[in-house]
Amino acid sequence: MDPQCLHDASVSQTSRFTGLVELTATRMVAGGDALGRADDGRVALIDGALPGERVRIEVTADRADHLRGRVLEVLDASPARVVPPCVHAREGCGGCGWQHVATETQPQLKLDILRDALTRIARIDEPRLEEPVVLPMEGFRTTVRALVVDGKPAFRRHQSHDPVLIDSCLVAHPAIDELLREGNFGRATEVTLRVGAGTGERAALADPAETILDLPPDVMRGKSAHVHEVIDGHTLRVSINSFFQSRTDGAETLARLVREATGPDRVIADLYCGVGLFAVTADTPRRVVAVERGRAAVADAKHNLKGRDARIVRADVGKWKGNKVDVVVADPSRAGLGKDGARTVLACDPERVVLVSCDAAALARDVGLLVGADYKLTSVTLVDLFAHTPHIECVTILDR
């Protein structure tokens, strides 16, 4: 949670809690914790609580201005609380931190998190949040990174580095779930699995890379492994080490929203372009400059944009000097643009900025930086890519 979310606390410098505390959660905040107040007025960030619940928590951090804790017992449950549908989540797997939240409630809680972050961090009253795009909540994830224990896959226990062995995954694409169920990953410590949902191609990368994997013969292996994915009729090469959206329907939705926001016949800067998803699916752009730091992703972008009027620049976006364009599309990592990335966006002097963000607090900080430079927030659209988790993905439009 961003520190600014703590500013409204009634700070106690002397009061300290130990052991168990009872309190009521009031709302969700960036990061997926619920917020409540301790008896001395301090803010409490509660892992595992839902708004409106009375809970007993174990205090895990006791600071002068706030507490952190995790739920040990729910005393008065929210109607939105459900039994996690996955047996591994019930065993403590931390891959899906919101499986205890009813599926129909999850998008609304994420909207609440976005609204809270934009109001508190970006200081924007009543931000315009569009109707969220809700996607299927099972069998969607096309890239999975897992621990390996004695040749078998595992995910980390919630809030821990300890492994939880799994024999299936509720959210994994069926072609990935088959590998999790039937594969043997030898002496690897971790493994990355990827499938192209539109082509059926599969790839795997073990750590250490030379590990012998017992997988079906169709699975391409090693650092040069890649798959092809089909997005809106465009075939993209995606290397095993390249960033790509975690689900095909999500990538298509983001591409559509970005394309609609960008419009036709525009000069575009595609920052943090990855394998070139937004440049490839753009609506007849006049010209594109695509900037990306990752070596594998740059190679993929050059392959995917071959024959188009596009220039690919391998550079750290925050250090790139920028070009004058009509529209900037930016899809930074979870940390967001930051001051350096925002400086590059402004150096491009665009009429419109289309920001694809995967963290509510980082989005709010970035929006604050751009609004402070005479852009206005036009709209925010939540795309619920990460079902059963508090993770946010959204497309934000800012206009000069």
- Triad 268, 270, 275: Cα angle to 5°: 135
Would residue 101 count as lying in a domain? no
Q: Is residue 264 part of a domain?
A: yes
Buried/exposed code over 231-248 (b: 16+ C-beta within 10 A; e: otherwise)? beeeebbbbbbbbbbbbb
CB 103: neighbour CB atoms within 10 A? Answer: 17
**Active-site residue list:** 358
Those residues with Cβ within 8 angstroms of residue 313's Cβ, 6 or more apart along the chain or in another chain: 289, 290, 291, 292, 320
> What are the tens digits of pLDDT across the range 111-140?
999 999 999 999 999 999 999 999 999 999
Q: What digits encode the pLDDT tens for the residues 302-347?
A: 999 999 999 999 999 999 999 999 999 999 999 999 999 999 999 9
DSSP state of 388: T
Question: In the numeric block, which tokens belong to residue 54?
Answer: 């009375």
First vs last Cα of the chain: how many Å apart? 29
Domain identity same for 346 and 372: yes
The number of angstroms, rounded, from the C-alpha of 185 to the middle of its chain's C-alpha atoms is 27
Question: Model confidence over 353-363: pLDDT tens digits?
Answer: 999 999 999 99
Are residues 275 and 337 located together in one domain of the fold? yes
Domain count, the chain: 3
Interval 44-59 mean pLDDT:
95
104 pLDDT higher than 50: yes
pLDDT computed for residue 4 by the predictor: 38
Alpha carbon distance 371, 180 (integer Å)? 45
Is residue 91 domain-resident?
Answer: no
Q: Would you say residue 93 lies in a domain?
A: no
Task: Report CA Rg, the chain.
Answer: 22
Same domain, residue pair 159 and 295: no
Rounded to whole angstroms, the Cα distance separating 40 from 51 reads: 20
CA distances to 12, 121, 122, 128, 366 from 125, in Å: 29, 11, 9, 9, 16
Q: DSSP letters of 4-44?
A: GGGTTS---SS----SEEEEEEEEE-TTS-EEEE-TTS-EE
Domain residues for 317? 106-136+244-399
Residue 317 shares a structural domain with residue 250: yes
List phi, psi (to 5°) of 67. Answer: -115, 155
Are 280 and 329 within 8 A, CB to CB? no
Cα→Cα distances 213→62, 70, 174, 186, 295, Å: 45, 38, 19, 6, 25
Domain closes at, from 194, 225, 256: 225
> What is the DSSP code (8-state) at residue 319?
G
40 and 167 part of one domain: no
Phi then psi for 88, rounded to 5 degrees?
-70, -35
Q: Give mean pLDDT, residues 278-295.
A: 97
Same domain, 149 and 218: yes
Looking at the structure, tell me whether residues 376 and 268 fall in a common domain.
Answer: yes
Q: Which pLDDT value is given to residue 3? A: 38
Q: Is the confidence at residue 291, as pLDDT, over 80?
A: yes
Q: What is the DSSP string of 73-99?
A: EEEE--TTB---SSHHHHTTB-S-TTT
Residue 127 lies in a domain: yes
Residues 66 and 166 in one domain: no
Same domain, 73 and 218: no
The CATH number assigned to the domain holding 381 equals 3.40.50.150
Same domain, 35 and 110: no
pLDDT at residue number 18:
56
When pLDDT is averaged across residues 16-21 and rounded to a whole number, the result is 68
| Residue 238 placed within a domain | no
Structure tokens at 78: 């929210």
Q: Which residues of 21-36 are buried (b: 16+ CB within 10 A; e: fewer)?
A: bebbbbebbbbbbbbb
164 and 216 share one domain: yes
Same structural domain for residues 161 and 177? yes
